[in-house]
Amino acid sequence: MTIVAFGGGGFVSTPDSPLNRYVISLARRSERPRVCYVPTAGGDSLPHVATFYRTCSSLGCEGTDLPLFNRTGEDVREKLLAQEVIWVGGGNTANLLAVWRLHGVDAALREAWEAGVVLAGSSAGMICWFEASITDSFGPQLAPLSDGLGFLPGSACPHYDDEERRRPVYREAVATGLPGGYAADDHAALRFDGVELAECVADTEGASAWRVALEDGQVVERALPTRVLV
């Protein structure tokens, strides 16, 4: 039961990142693991899908994608359970959650996770797994979102070092009632085994993951030990 949550980057935006190889190394099937891209948050962007397939080819994976805006008649549950890795791209998290729930993707993803399929993603694909998050789904001002999938407890915030408003908005939200959780810089990722944090990794020196929580009425932010991949 593994989830790898990227603050930014991954199969589409950073195809050559060692973080992609890290995710693939966690797959149950070591030879040509099956990887499914779920591009819902980006509106099933065809350029993103094309980049994903190129990345899979370079990694020696068997790639496929699950379109939800132009359904092909595939059985969602059957397709997702047949994978070793499921990659969720960035975009609009609120829209992603609504579409997934309408098509039963949320239930199929939980079943796949419990069956040992690695779930991973960046940005929207980072925060969707948590109970709550900070999102730009409603505009660039950023806002809390409190109805995530809840596979992982607490909240999450991506792009922590890349977008200047992420840190203050997340800290303010935690101070005013959002459950504490995790933040990740671009180029950094958190790996959870079950619901416990196993390790933090990065593909760039200086990229980090963070624990953010309310302690004695004050928001406390701690950098987590982060292993740089080579």
Residues annotated as catalytic (active site), given as ranges: 123, 159
Would you say the C-alpha torsion 71, 72, 78, 79 has a positive or negative sign? Answer: negative
Rounded to the nearest 5 degrees, what angle is found at the Cα of 92, between the Cα atoms of 89 and 95?
Answer: 110
Whether 156 and 130 have beta carbons less than 8 Å apart is answered as: yes
Residue showing tokens 């959002």? 178
Alpha-carbon distance values, 174 to 66, 98, 115 (Å)? 34, 24, 33
In this structure, how many other beta carbons lie within 10 angstroms of the beta carbon of residue 230?
Answer: 5
Whether 130 and 150 have beta carbons less than 8 Å apart is answered as: yes
